[in-house]
Amino acid sequence: MKTGYIFDESYFWHDTGSGTLYLASGGYLEKDEFIEAPSTKRRVNNLLERSRFMDELVNLRPRSATRSDIESCHTGAYIDKVHHLSDTTGGDAGDHAIVGKGSYEIALLSAGGAMTAVDAVMEGRTENVYALTRPPGHHAEADFGMGFCIFNNVAIAAKYARKHYGLNRVLVLDWDVHHGNGIEKAFYNDPSTLYVSIHQHLSFPEGSGYAENIGEEEGEGYNVNIPLPPGTGNAGYLTVLDSIVQPLAEEFQPELILVAAGQDPSMFDPLGRMTVTAEGFGKMTTKMKTIAENVCGGKLAVCHEGGYSNGYVPFCTLRVIEALKEKRSDVEDPFAPGENGYPDKVYPNQQEAIDDVIKIQSVFWKSLVRQEVR
């Protein structure tokens, strides 16, 4: 199994400055490292190197997206704003979307990394890919950034895949703990891209990610939000993949699957409360890999989004990459004993949330009607 891996040292040089969690330091907020910092992603890369699992992967050099690529999802005025901030003093390109000196070029390379992942799987150089891109992208909307995101990497990659390879159907699964409002809006009236977001309900952004937001016009039914209650763990996520994502994929028949992979649903994340374990991420990836093999010849590209636990994200991401490769490293999860007492089944409030989504979407999808009457 050839699994590609994409990263670039430049990703770690995107400078978000100092802060406290996601706020600027000052007053009673003592100066600290801003939570979307390079350390978490760098530690993923370091663990791959330290464990020698990097040797199992096909290392791919990302290319930069062009302005035309970025314009597929963003306005010229917004792109100009990011470019100006990057060339001058830096600043916020929206709502907690920090642009540092030189961040424009790095953000182009991050979007280009997602596009490079598409190239690798579509051209058969690898069966699947993990792209450790930074800055993340799924919150970025057409004319402003949000939630640490500058350019919408996965949305840009999906539009690139459709244009460059003539694809008619792309499935985007977003398992970041926060709703991917930017990806949603990029395809809200577009039936050629099925967007499925699994996220913590009422987390971020405010007023976003409701199950009733189903798309509009020709895209009605092609936007599937799965808001889950805090505390949903491995069992709940795997149930969603089995009861919603798999039947949708089999009915939609995508020619490519992209995953916006935030490891912030993890049990130790400071910005999420979903308690997914490293093993859980591995099982989720195995499920998506099987779905991809069944519907689109295994064409699966996974792009890094959020995840803010410096200690735990590397182990979660390693399990994702191992599942793509179908090979385990010799790395044992040192945090596994901490899983005792975490959810190991689907609780009634979680099943109710899943059933609500199935009921709403079964109006559009025959495959979910069968799930509704199970």
- CB burial string 36-70: b at 16+ within 10 A, e below: bbbebbbbbbebbeeeebbebbeebebebbeeebb
- Report the percentage of the chain scoring pLDDT > 90: 93
Angle formed at CA 59 by CA 58 and CA 65, multiple of 5 degrees: 125
Tally of residues, the chain: 374
Phi then psi for residue 294, to 5 deg, are: -80, -30
Average pLDDT over residues 238-259: 98
Integer Cα distance of 126 and 57 in angstroms:
10
Per-residue pLDDT, 336: 94
Per-residue pLDDT, 91: 94
Where does residue 77 rank: exposed (0-12), middle (13-18), buried (19+ CB within 10 A)?
exposed
Residue 274: pLDDT band with limits 50, 70, 90: very high
Per-residue pLDDT, 373: 60
**Domain membership flag for residue 17:** no
Instruction: Report which of 207, 335, 217 is spatially closest to residue 281, judged by C-alpha positions.
Output: 335
**Domain membership flag for residue 360:** yes
Per-residue pLDDT, 350: 98
Integer Cα distance of 71 and 219 in angstroms:
21
Strands (E), the chain: 3-6, 18-19, 32-33, 58-60, 91-92, 94-95, 98-99, 128-131, 145-146, 170-174, 193-200, 223-228, 256-261, 300-304
User: Is the model's pLDDT at 370 over the cut of 90?
Assistant: no
Show the tokens assigned to 212: 């009733």
User: Is the model's pLDDT at 129 over the cut of 70?
Assistant: yes
Per-residue pLDDT, 1: 80
Show the tokens assigned to 155: 């949305």
**Domain membership flag for residue 130:** yes
Per-residue pLDDT, 374: 60
Show the tokens assigned to 87: 């060339």
Is the CB of residue 19 less than 8 Å from the CB of residue 25?
A: yes
**Domain membership flag for residue 173:** yes
**Domain membership flag for residue 205:** yes
**Domain membership flag for residue 26:** no
**Domain membership flag for residue 153:** yes
Is the CB of residue 173 less than 8 Å from the CB of residue 259?
A: yes
CATH number, position 228:
3.40.800.20
User: Is the model's pLDDT at 230 over the cut of 90?
Assistant: yes
User: Is the model's pLDDT at 133 over the cut of 70?
Assistant: yes
Residue of higher predicted confidence among 332 and 344: 332
**277-306 pLDDT tens trace:** 999 999 999 999 999 999 999 999 999 999
**12-67 pLDDT tens trace:** 999 998 888 988 888 999 988 889 999 999 999 999 999 999 999 999 999 999 99
Gyration radius (Cα) of the chain, Å:
19
**Domain membership flag for residue 20:** no
Integer Cα distance of 108 and 340 in angstroms:
42
Q: What is the mean pLDDT of the chain?
A: 96
pTM, two decimals, is 0.97
Residue 92: pLDDT band with limits 50, 70, 90: very high
* Catalytic position from the list 14, 74, 138, 139: 139
Is 139 one of the annotated active-site residues of the chain? Answer: yes
What is the tally of structural domains in the chain?
A: 1
- Domain containing 56 equals 3-12+33-331+344-372
Average pLDDT over residues 217-233: 98
Average pLDDT over residues 200-226: 97
Residue 339: pLDDT band with limits 50, 70, 90: confident
